[in-house]
Structure 1
């Protein structure tokens, strides 16, 4: 990459402009105002984000499906439409997310009601993480958390929520192409491994086999 920029001196100016001064400024500040180092850090940030993407995908998909399995077990197949047992107990933002998802799916598919699986696939990661919070004691997580995290029976609700909430922040930053280099990424990587393994060893094995975080992590540019 650096060779390309060195051969085309105006590329650095064009690159900075395409990113915007404020976005590039984050990397410039972390690189002692050295433009070359800032571009290297930006590249590394993109590569480390890419290395975590498949693991985060595995976490999100596994979480929503495990949570859906639990909801079906506790509230029956049509739980998204069950006003008495679950919907009325959802907090404002989560009730809005569910309502908007149902409306969007019904509109797009032209049927009512739509399947639970269609709703589950469309709900945000934030909805699922929120269900692990202390706001939802009616899920009886003290006794039922094992339904979601069957392979780490000593995991408690508060820890599961804290881990998943941190991963949600990481997932959102990566999805919106934001800087992640300042986060404790080694710890987040360990949290991913722990929580995915707690849900499904097979999914964990898949994620481990496809994640190249360690090699990218070792390439992090040295700070000035």
Structure 2
């Protein structure tokens, strides 16, 4: 799934507004929802529901539910990718703090320095390599599979982290980055109901499978996403 990110700021054009198309009037929603979650946030759900406040309320809570369901497989992917890349690079450079020897770019080095400093502030001691690895965000690890590191990291080392992947590195990076963007939308409590979530889910499991089939199977046993997708509210056609 390289699926492009929808433009969340896109508004109905004049023809839609003048033609009686769905509005973002939140008056039909419970007052406490509007007070605590904001009319601006909820208006998007009202528009998606064709102006039906009852349907918009269902859609909002379903978006919360599906976001929660995606957390488990997405977090599993993030941790698994992080550890797989870390293991390969530790072996390659013969040290747990491999970033001190690897040819990292300026931005990657900055992120390592920030993670190290934050670990020190939180613990009050010299952070270990494991502390730093845990602190580094998913974006740091996804960037290691980008074109910037193709010659120096991917070709000699990092391809081994995905033993069941036989395609082009660029496609793997696109899929990982799509999962990163989905993870960020969920962590920022943004709408994801408009995405092709079944395709997102399939991409997630392809990536887990590239690491190890048993990993994908183990996560799937505990994954509620398919059940939640089956309860998706039916929205009016736009």
The TM-score with structure 1 as length reference comes to 0.86
The answer on 1:148 being equivalent to 2:161 is yes
How many angstroms apart in 1 are the aligned matches of 2:119 and 2:163?
31
Q: Give the secondary structure class of the aligned counterpart of 1:62.
A: helix
Where structure 2 has 5 or more consecutive residues not aligned to the other structure, the ranges are 1-26
Distance 1:91 1:25, change over 3 A: farther
2:171 to 155, 159, 162: 159
Where structure 1 has 5 or more consecutive residues not aligned to the other structure, the ranges are 1-8
CA contact (8 A) 1:105 1:119 kept: yes
How many angstroms apart in 2 are the aligned matches of 1:179 and 1:12?
19
Alignment size in residue pairs? 210
CA contact (8 A) 2:88 2:158 kept: no
Higher helix share: 1
1:31 to 26, 46, 49: 49
Structure 1 match to 2:183: 171
Q: Give the secondary structure class of the aligned counterpart of 1:47.
A: helix
Distance 1:34 1:11, change over 3 A: closer
Deviant stretches of 4+, over 6 Å: none
**Higher alpha-carbon deviation: 13-22 or 165-174:** 13-22
Q: Give the secondary structure class of the aligned counterpart of 1:104.
A: helix
Structure 2 match to 1:117: 130
Report how far residue 93 of structure 1 moved.
2.8
Report how far residue 78 of structure 1 moved.
3.8
The TM-score with structure 2 as length reference comes to 0.82
Structure 1 match to 2:113: 99
How many angstroms apart in 1 are the aligned matches of 2:66 and 2:197?
9
